Amino acid sequence: MTEDEKLGQLQQLAWAGATGPGGTQTRQAEEAARAGLLGSVLNIHGARESNALQRIAVEESRLGIPLIFGLDIIHGFWTTFPIPLAQAASFDPAVSELDASVSAAEARSNGVHWTFAPMMDVTSEPRWGRIAESGGEDPYLNAVLAAAKVRGYQGGDLRAKDRIAACAKHYVAYGGPEGGRDYNTVDVSEARLRNHYLPPFKVAVDAQVATVMAAFNTISGVPAHGNEHTLTRILKQDWGFDGFVVSDWSGVQELIPHGFAADGADAASLAVNAGVDMEMVSTHVADHGRKLLSEGRIDAARLDDAVTRVLRVKFRLGLFDDPYVPEAAEIPGPTARARSAARTAAARSMVLLRNEGALPLVKTVGSVAVVGPFGDSDDLQGTWAGPGAEKFRSVTVLDGVRAAVPDAEVTHALGIDATGQDTGTLPAAVAAARAADVTVVVVGESPAISGEGNSRSDIGLPGRQEELIAAVAATGKPYVVVLVNGRPLTLGDWADDAPAVLEAWHPGMEAGNAVADVLFGDVDPGGRLPASFPRTVGQIPVNYNHERTGRPYDPADPDQRYVSRYLDVADGPRYPFGHGLSYTTFTLTEPSLSRGSVTAGSLREGGTVEVAVTVRNTGEREGDEVVQLYLRDPVASIVQPVRRLRGFRRVTLAAGASTTVRFSLGADDFGFWTNDPDGRFVVEEGTVDIIVGTSSTATAKDTLTIT
């Protein structure tokens, strides 16, 4: 390969469909492919269109190296599943794996080889719009779901015609932006970087993820795209990652406005030397690469390493043997089976926040009013919904309710628009509520104000939506509230008075049917919160796994002054991490340990401690519970979080049935990383509380001694 051809393999250009500033590069992509100076194209899909561009690269370029086609397939290609934050609420990795496997089959048949997912940015910042794409505030939950997504996308063989390459993003610490503003600064210690933000990426690498995407943010002053410490020393050297690192959209170019690079040539040199292997959209590596090589600012061996990594993924995808996709086998849209999977996933992702006996609704109800800005909305698929959202709208809650109770009179009134400003139809909604046996109030936020670039300083219900809830409540008739949103919200006092509140998130293509499945009891709401719901924006961050302070708040002494608290709001979130109700009731035994003590040495050598807890359905119907295990390390050389999730299991039990859930804990669970920049993992002697329950506020515990 010539130098130019090598540099070309490190270039990715955009097809017709922009995901950031700079527009599209369709003609440029065709010309570069013909000249053999292009490695990848993003945003192209469709078997016929992708094959046409691939033929240019394979049949007209000198070396015939195939292109790899990438696309943001975040929670569905044609078939839109619930947003990733909702999938995290399922506490069921099978939900994420199913989404990924359905998406992979649809995408590969349409010529897509590679998705820019899963996103595993741990975040306790609900103002940040991209929390919708994440697994929430806990590293362990994010890690489990990331591994499931990688398995679902990639399967056991990337050559398979129903699998695609995954991309672990955004590497790293993108979920900690100051002020919750997208693309903003992240200042983080080495210990927090390794203990909080890196674990999901390590798990993804262990799951053989094909690629990794660098993040937009700085990491303690060094932009992620120019961070040799994270991209090379940790990812490639310590972890042995042998895939390639792709920049985010114009991420190499953005080293200049960051103030890290002086110009395009400087940006290219810094990014490649730090460990970026492919440049998305901006073209500094290709434009300046030959000059940088001649000047010794990029080493020839490093260039060869980057090219090898890109070609290795193409070989693993089987593109050199079979670069095209059979056009006759293209999947043109959602199948009935895929829709059913999306419906099941959406229902399993919903969280019952409050229920004073109002749910489930009876199917013999005579009349139902569906009111609110999202009651008859077919735009419930969420941010980054993929090409399917443009062609196939979501099932509305109104249609879902009508299908669930075909013999009931089901009416609808808007009440207020999605922005919460136009209350002209509020009287009609009140009249509908008065006339109905029960009212379903569907409020929340539009997908348009969720996701990338959509940070909000006020994360309450937009505008005057709370007035609609108050007006329906004032009728004195039964009602329930359904929330559709892409982030945790700050809910008003109405949330403490509503007969029932169901968090449905942005549920995807089968939204309305899934909401109705839960409302009418066909599905027990077994979802649990993957991120805390703050009482007010001023509390943020209010994550459950915060570090301990020397003056902690004590709920037994709420009037104590000189402690870590706010004067004007109750301590803690409105709804904590792991919270969720069911239509039945459960009891859990105290945790039982296989042994009361273990040596630190045996743990380091692979020893484990087994934890068992028995869960029983004490209610009158089948239901789901999520058993959650947390660790609390009371004394350590580095201050530890008040507790850390280290295991969970979602179980379905018939009325009166019980089962014993077992967890195995080892060094990875009990140990932690220090602030040593070269990476030092320790398992220290002392006691550790092992806490088991049904939310992050669980109290049942046993204590293990590590000697």
The residues that are catalytic are 248
**Alpha helix segments (H runs only) across 319-363:** 336-349
What is the rounded distance in angstroms from the CA atom of residue 662 to the CA atom of residue 627? Answer: 10
Distances (CA, A) of 278 to 9, 171, 244, 272: 8, 14, 7, 8
Q: Are strands 218-219 and 222-223 parallel, antiparallel or unpaired?
A: antiparallel
Handedness of CA 556, 561, 562, 563 (dihedral sign): positive
3-state secondary structure of 236: helix
| Angle at alpha carbon of residue 203, lines to 208 and 213, rounded to 5° | 70
Question: 417-423: which pairs have CB atoms within 8 A and are 24 or more residues apart?
Answer: 417/373, 418/373, 418/374, 418/377, 418/445, 418/446, 418/462, 419/446, 419/462, 419/463, 420/373, 420/461, 420/462, 420/463, 420/464, 420/465, 421/463, 421/464, 423/464, 423/467, 423/468
Contact between 436 and 478 (Cβ < 8 Å)? no
3-state secondary structure of 89: helix
What is the rounded distance in angstroms from the CA atom of residue 657 to the CA atom of residue 586? Answer: 10
Contact between 432 and 362 (Cβ < 8 Å)? no
What is the rounded distance in angstroms from the CA atom of residue 97 to the CA atom of residue 100? Answer: 5
What is the rounded distance in angstroms from the CA atom of residue 499 to the CA atom of residue 356? Answer: 5
Q: Are strands 597-598 and 351-355 parallel, antiparallel or unpaired?
A: unpaired
Handedness of CA 451, 18, 174, 108 (dihedral sign): positive
Q: Before 21, cis peptide (omega within 30)?
A: no
Q: Which residue has the tokens 């955004």?
A: 170
Q: Before 170, cis peptide (omega within 30)?
A: yes
The distance of Cα 258 from the centroid of its chain, to the nearest Å, equals 26
Contact between 88 and 141 (Cβ < 8 Å)? yes
Distances (CA, A) of 296 to 2, 17, 226: 17, 36, 18
Contact between 627 and 695 (Cβ < 8 Å)? no
Distances (CA, A) of 188 to 185, 197, 293, 611, 675: 10, 10, 34, 33, 11
For helices 336-349 and 511-519, what crossing angle results, to 10°?
Answer: 50
Please name every residue paired with 547 in a beta bridge, in sequence order, or none if there are none.
Answer: 641
| Angle at alpha carbon of residue 135, lines to 130 and 139, rounded to 5° | 115
What is the rounded distance in angstroms from the CA atom of residue 543 to the CA atom of residue 137? Answer: 7
Closest CA to 37 of 50, 25, 22: 25
